[in-house]
Chain A
Amino acid sequence: MAFTGPYVCNNFLQDLLAFLTGKTIKMALYDSTASLTAATSAYTTSGELASGSGYTTGGKTMTGFTTGRSGSVAYADWDDVVWTSASLTAYGALQHNSTDSKAMLVLDFGGPKQVIAGTLTIVLPTADSTHAFLRLSS
């Protein structure tokens, strides 16, 4: 028997994402003063929108967590994140693991996104290996 190369085993990819199971994952909104980068390690209130007008600091708890794998691509996804009856202006968002106080993903809205007495919806893609919000591949 010969080896055919080094591999990250496919099931391990999904196992890595499965650590999010049971965690409280949130999406927080930020204004233009926020400084969120790959170096952001934890949720921060710096630059976060203030509570009121349809928003609560810390962000919205994300629901519908699901993981899956197709071949060498494992993925994780959640339901859309929705703020209703809101009046706010957001420039971006931070997805964070509230259970462990860890930052996860930074979303750049590309400019001010204003909601007036309305609904802000972050539409997450289909949960599959080619579209899911978070994918891990080897």
Chain B
Amino acid sequence: MFTKIEDVDGAVRQEFSHSPIPCGVAVEHRFYDADGKVIRQDQFIAATKPFVIATDKGQEIV
């Protein structure tokens, strides 16, 4: 769901959204012109779900 965060002279508005994704959270930021057309769209993808490699120290020597 997009949230409007700013109106600029009623002509240009910006909206952003947050959405959880498998590797973190994506933030989408849209910029509109006076006609409501998206003239720019940015994406910020947070790699907040780190890759963790755990070693196995429970191996037995037989």
Partner of B42, one of A5, A7, A115: A115
What are the residues of chain A within 8 A of B40 when measuring CB–CB? Answer: 116-118
Q: Is the interface of A mostly helix, strand, loop or mixed?
A: strand
* A1-54 at interface with B (beta carbon < 8 Å): 5-8, 13
Q: Is the interface of B mostly helix, strand, loop or mixed?
A: strand
Beta-carbon contacts of A100-123 to B below 8 Å, as 1s and 0s?
000001011111011111111111
A133 close to B (CB within 8 Å): yes
Partner of B23, one of A7, A13, A107: A107
B21 close to A (CB within 8 Å): yes
* B13-62 at interface with A (beta carbon < 8 Å): 19-24, 26, 28-29, 31, 38-48, 50-55, 57-59, 61
Q: Give the residue name and chain of the B residue nearest to A114 (CB).
A: B41
Partner of B45, one of A8, A105, A122, A134: A122
What are the residues of chain B within 8 A of A118 when measuring CB–CB? Answer: 29, 31, 40-43
Minimum CB–CB distance for B28 against chain A, Å: 8
What are the residues of chain A within 8 A of B28 when measuring CB–CB? Answer: 113
Minimum CB–CB distance for B32 against chain A, Å: 11
The answer on a CB contact under 8 Å between B45 and A113 is yes
What are the residues of chain A within 8 A of B52 when measuring CB–CB? Answer: 135-137
Q: Give the residue name and chain of the A residue nearest to B19 (CB).
A: A110
- 11 residue pairs of the A-B complex, CB under 8 angstroms, read A6-B57, A107-B22, A115-B42, A118-B40, A122-B47, A123-B48, A125-B46, A125-B48, A131-B50, A133-B47, A133-B50
Spell out A's residues near B (CB within 8 Å). Answer: 5-8, 13, 105, 107-111, 113-125, 131-138
Spell out B's residues near A (CB within 8 Å). Answer: 19-24, 26, 28-29, 31, 38-48, 50-55, 57-59, 61
